[in-house]
Amino acid sequence: MHSSLVTTTLPRPVMRPRRMRFSPAIRRLVRETTLSPADFIYPLFVRHGVEQRAPIRSMPGISQLSVDQLAGEAREIAALGIPAVILFGIPAAKDATGSDNYSADGIVPQAIRAIKDAAPDLLVISDMCFCEYTDHGHCGIINQPGQPHFQSALPEGYLLNDPTLDLLGRASVVHAQAGADIIAPSGMVDGMVAAIRSGLDGAGYQHVAVMSYAVKYASAFYGPFRDAAESPPQFGDRSQYQMDPANSREAIKEASIDVAEGADVLMVKPALPYLDILSAVRSTFNLPTAAYQVSGEYAMLHAAAANGWLDLRRSALESLTAIKRAGADMVVTYFAKDAAQWLEEE
């Protein structure tokens, strides 16, 4: 018994978008958003010691590295076509003012010099904050009795904004002297871009750019980073200076302040949960825009893949594509090395 095709009197489609999905070659031809290793910035965590590669438990494939390990790492990153790294330092000792951050012999200045010696064309971005360097784990000077900047009118534990600005300017000059190409203030301290720009210009480093973490939310997605940078706050949290996740209009206000103060690049952090914010910042300001695919985003994909729930390669590249599609000109991502290799294979 022969079956016959079902016929219909409905009109045939005039528009057939599926034609442009027929083959991989056609899909590549009409693809609107493309990823490249040139889009990525790779974070590095640097610690004191020798021959140290300390794996970070909550971030598979990522380790804290001692300075002597950076030459090989830098050459590998550059060979993959990744144009930049961003540095986070873990000092040997911490104190109330995070003095390792503004010491010429501090861990990050050492790291900058080592990378520039090994791979001179690799851009070095210095994350400029104090949470990794202070014994209290907050992003600047804290209001504490007995400390030089104590203000009795403010509550104990409050982040003192203006004294912190002085330290940000001082540390930025030290990092520029070591060879940093870009300073990236990340503490959401009011006036941070102006303080850093003034400090750099005054010391003759007008050519060093400022990439501001202009819109940084007090996010739950930073958890694994606290392991990586050994920087959990010893009391409270950072909600008094990082943004409320519920706010979007405030993001434009924050970014506009940093633009007026001289920021060269604006960053939104985290990335994937804030694609609407990223899109708004990119469309509002005529500046290069970065997004930070944070440790929690990275760890979630790895955890799901380890359980067989997601394909790591596909989900990572899809998430990076979404971030770029939303408006990012560059993406800080722990997937940078893997993604560069995956893209080369496609």
Q: Which of 216, 253, 324, 337 is catalytic?
A: 216
Q: Which of 94, 269, 324, 337 is catalytic?
A: 269
Q: How far apart are CA 129 and CA 166, in angstroms?
A: 12
Is 253 a residue of the active site? no
85, 325 Cβ separation under 8 angstroms: no
Is 216 a residue of the active site? yes
Q: How far apart are CA 145 and CA 127, in angstroms?
A: 29
The encoded tokens of residue 202 equal 């005054």
Q: How far apart are CA 112 and CA 180, in angstroms?
A: 6
Sign of the four-CA dihedral 220, 221, 227, 231: negative
Residues 6+ apart with CB under 8 A from 205: 173, 176, 177
Inter-CA distances, 194 with 172, 178, 202, 254, Å: 12, 21, 12, 13
Residues with catalytic annotation? 216, 269
